[in-house]
Amino acid sequence: MSNKWWMEGVGYQIYLKTFYDSDNDGIGDIQGVIQKLDYIKDLGIDFIWLSPFNTSPMDDNGYDISDFYDVNKLFGSLNDLKQLIETAHKLDIKIVMDLVLNHTSDEHPWFIESRRNKTNKYRDYYIWHKGTSGGFPNNWGSFFGGSAWKLDNTTNEYYMKIFSDKMPDLNWENENMRNELYSMINWWIDFGMDGFRVDAISHIDRDRSFENSKLANGKTVVLDTSKFSNLPKVHIYLKDMSKNVFKKRGVMTVGEVGGEPTSHDVLSYAGYESQELDIVFTFDHMWCFDSDSHNTNLLGMKKVFKRYQNGLFDKGWNTLYWENHDQIRHLSKYGDTEKYHKESAKMLCLALYFMWGTPFVYNGQEIGMYNYPFEKIENFNDVSIHTRYELLKKQGADLDEFIAQQAFETRDNARTAMQWDNTKYAGFTKRKNDMLINPNYTKINVLQQQKDKNSILNFHKKVFKIRKSELYKNILIYGKFKMLFEEHENVLSYVRTYKNKSIIVVANFFEKQAVIELSDIDTDKLIISNYTNICKHSEGLILRPYEAMAFELENI
């Protein structure tokens, strides 16, 4: 496999709506991204993954597209996008577009036609089914709560929608529909896109028997992902799309693949031999904490890292990320948001980004933004929270408990305004707006961290510089990974090796001090650390709260 730009580069995900508002209408926009390109370049970023910018009624913040070929007026215009691509390219930054192919908005012209009658050309672009005597065609639940089906009164049939009611699922069995998608993707490649993040792609095949799930246990509906995740035809569809578009045009692709995939599963999507995608995002390292205490389950996390670091090596490529727009802020689950905010943020940065794979940073992660203090339902924006809240309300459930739980878990935590400085509205906009602004912005913001040479922001820059430096590039980008101290409950440690050169990383994931038996480490070979000195005694290395270090190792 030859080296590709996306193997050596660092990606930055921008959630447009809350990133930077250039025209002060209260909503982030494409011109806002253009204005921040120098900041992004300075961070060491090589490509930007832009959250969906297409025309959309914004039921799911743009993942519900009503026109694939245009830009949502909230974010700007096609001209703005052209300007963004050109300006970014001049800075050697590539642009990766979010491609939503599992569903459209119910306001998309295809669906408007499809629901009109049972005989029109677009009927079969979506998945329609008759109801049963009990109502829904079956007991399948949706990711956002409630049934995976919605009754449409015009033809008295149900359409499938595994996300919100306003996001009908496309029928990938229909070849015309697939060809229309291919044309659309080709159009965006001609427009200048360098790559695609392919949304929810593991769901495009369904269990066509539509038989009830056996997991229901008496409930009317149940979320049984085995009915629409990672089913065999997904690979047939992807191979065809790749042959006609992705591989043919040489663009980069990163797919979203949930559902505890084994390394074998990942390789079937994105192995060098697979002819489907280049890389995928998996999710299992996102859930390594206790749901009550929120304590990190480091042993579980190590198993996940090992699975992909070793299982994909030489056969495919890997991704490295802590956050995205669907996840809570990582410091709120794996780090510390108070006394050791800085130490834990730097530790998590080093521990992850010295591993093997392409790093992705989610906007705000690089300054250590953390969860928002949600208190009431009105604080939330996410359609999935409101859907589930209404269902629970009908059932008479404890809504306060739901809110408390969601305050920690909601993906809205990642969608608060980017904190640029300590002026009103965190420098995100000048105008009063509906965006959530985390009250911690007066302490945690870009401007303040640019001035502090020991900031989390500057630590990220340093880590990316080291990854790309002539001295360490081969080891950190192409080197093999070996986990050390596998059974240690508090410390993550590994070695990266390329030819006869190695780097060892040690990271304490907790506040409690830890000791590891590494007495033969040469402390003069320190590459980077989140403390100012090293604590070593005869038994080995002492790791203070959230301490992390990397050293060169000779001749191993």
163 part of the interface to ligand GLC, by CB under 6 A: yes
**Residue 519 Cβ vs ligand GLC, minimum distance, rounded to whole Å:** 46
Going by C-alpha positions, the residue among 50, 48, 79 that lies closest to residue 62 is 50
CA-based end-to-end distance of the chain: 26
Q: Choose between 194 and 256: whose C-beta lies nearer to ligand GLC.
A: 256
Site string for ligand GLC, 319-338 (x = CB under 6 A): ------xx------------
Going by C-alpha positions, the residue among 65, 66, 71 that lies closest to residue 27 is 71
Q: Choose between 152 and 326: whose C-beta lies nearer to ligand GLC.
A: 326
Site string for ligand GLC, 350-369 (x = CB under 6 A): --------------------
Judged by DSSP in three states, 292 sits in coil
269 part of the interface to ligand GLC, by CB under 6 A: no
199 part of the interface to ligand GLC, by CB under 6 A: yes
- To the query of whether residue 165 is one of the catalytic residues in this protein, the response is no
Q: Choose between 163 and 188: whose C-beta lies nearer to ligand GLC.
A: 163
Task: Please report, for residues 179, 292, 320, 429, 460, the alpha-carbon distance to residue 552 in angstroms, rounded to integers and kept in the order given.
Answer: 51, 39, 22, 44, 19
Q: Greatest CA span in the chain, whole angstroms?
A: 80
Going by C-alpha positions, the residue among 99, 106, 98 that lies closest to residue 168 is 106
Going by C-alpha positions, the residue among 337, 306, 347 that lies closest to residue 481 is 306
**Residue 169 Cβ vs ligand GLC, minimum distance, rounded to whole Å:** 10
The Cβ of residue 136 has, within 10 Å, a number of other Cβ atoms equal to: 20
Q: Choose between 258 and 479: whose C-beta lies nearer to ligand GLC.
A: 258
**Residue 134 Cβ vs ligand GLC, minimum distance, rounded to whole Å:** 27
Cα-only R_g, the chain: 24
Q: Torsion over CA of 166, 169, 170 and 174, rounded to 10 degrees?
A: -140
Of these, 63, 246, 459, 464, which contacts ligand GLC (CB under 6 A)?
63
Q: Choose between 166 and 325: whose C-beta lies nearer to ligand GLC.
A: 325
Of these, 40, 100, 170, 417, which contacts ligand GLC (CB under 6 A)?
100
**Residue 60 Cβ vs ligand GLC, minimum distance, rounded to whole Å:** 5
**Residue 86 Cβ vs ligand GLC, minimum distance, rounded to whole Å:** 27
Site string for ligand GLC, 448-487 (x = CB under 6 A): ----------------------------------------
**Residue 200 Cβ vs ligand GLC, minimum distance, rounded to whole Å:** 4
Residues 6+ away with beta carbon under 8 Å from 361: 10, 11, 12, 13, 43, 45, 321, 323, 460
Of these, 177, 200, 403, 435, which contacts ligand GLC (CB under 6 A)?
200
Q: Choose between 60 and 165: whose C-beta lies nearer to ligand GLC.
A: 60
Q: Choose between 198 and 503: whose C-beta lies nearer to ligand GLC.
A: 198
Active-site residue among 21, 199, 336, 366?
199
**Residue 498 Cβ vs ligand GLC, minimum distance, rounded to whole Å:** 34
Residues in contact with ligand GLC, counted by CB under 6 A, come to a total of: 9
Q: Choose between 49 and 441: whose C-beta lies nearer to ligand GLC.
A: 49
- To the query of whether residue 199 is one of the catalytic residues in this protein, the response is yes
Rounded CA separation 103/148 (Å): 13
Helices in 245-397 by DSSP H: which ranges? 247-249, 263-270, 298-311, 330-334, 341-353, 383-395
Rounded CA separation 41/92 (Å): 9
Q: Indicate the residue whose CB is closest to ligand GLC.
A: 63
Residues 6+ away with beta carbon under 8 Å from 255: 197, 198, 201, 202, 238, 269, 270, 276, 277, 279, 280, 281
* Sheet hosting strand 157-160, strand order edge to edge: 128-129, 157-160, 149-152
**Residue 445 Cβ vs ligand GLC, minimum distance, rounded to whole Å:** 26
Rounded CA separation 64/105 (Å): 4
Contact 147, 160 (CB under 8 A): no
Q: Choose between 56 and 529: whose C-beta lies nearer to ligand GLC.
A: 56
Residue type at position 39: Y
- Region 235-264 residues binding ligand GLC, contact defined as CB under 6 A: 256
**Residue 329 Cβ vs ligand GLC, minimum distance, rounded to whole Å:** 16
Active-site residue among 64, 169, 256, 382?
256
For the annotated catalytic residues, the residue numbers are 199, 256
Which spans of this chain sit near ligand GLC (rule: CB under 6 A)?
Answer: 60, 63, 100, 163, 199-200, 256, 325-326
